[in-house]
Amino acid sequence: DQQVKQNSPSLSVQEGRISILNCDYTNSMFDYFLWYKKYPAEGPTFLISISSIKDKNEDGRFTVFLNKSAKHLSLHIVPSQPGDSAVYFCAARVAYSGAGSYQLTFGKGTKLSVIP
């Protein structure tokens, strides 16, 4: 049972336009969400995160929105650039007190292609 779902395997966007990547989750215990970008043959690179007490976090061209009632988050990239072409993973974490592991649960990823 996938607790983090990225239902779009791929997305193509024109350079300069907005890219919107979506992520749904089922575990209501998730309290911290992250987006990672991954190029082929490299490890995931951290992009941006959001705590469950917020509904929006912005960092330069990247904005993450969280809708807790819908168990949905999205990553907006504006404007999109060809260098943004990569696989984007949504990840979530359950909060534990004390020595909790904070292991991340990942979606399967969305491949973004930004067309010049």
Q: Is the dihedral of CA 4, 67, 69, 96 positive or negative?
A: positive
Closest residue by Cα to residue 35 from 113, 112, 97: 112
Applying CB under 8 A, the site for other proteins has a residue count of 27
Interface pattern 26-65 for other proteins (x via CB under 8 A): ------x-x-x----xxxxxx--x-x--------------
Which of 17, 28, 108, 115 lies at the binding interface for other proteins (CB under 8 A)?
108
Q: How far is the CB of 15 from other proteins (least distance, A)?
A: 27
Q: Give least dist CB 114 to other proteins, A.
A: 21
- Strand duo 62-67 + 56-59: pairing: antiparallel
Q: Which stretch binds other proteins (CB under 8 A): 12-20, 62-70, 76-84, 85-93?
A: 85-93
**Joined tokens for residue 46:** 């951290």
Q: Which of 35, 66, 80, 109 binds other proteins (CB under 8 A)?
A: 109
Does residue number 110 form part of the binding site for other proteins (CB under 8 A)?
no
**What is the rounded CA–CA span in Å between residue 64 and residue 77?**
9
φ/ψ (deg, to 5) at 19: -105, 130
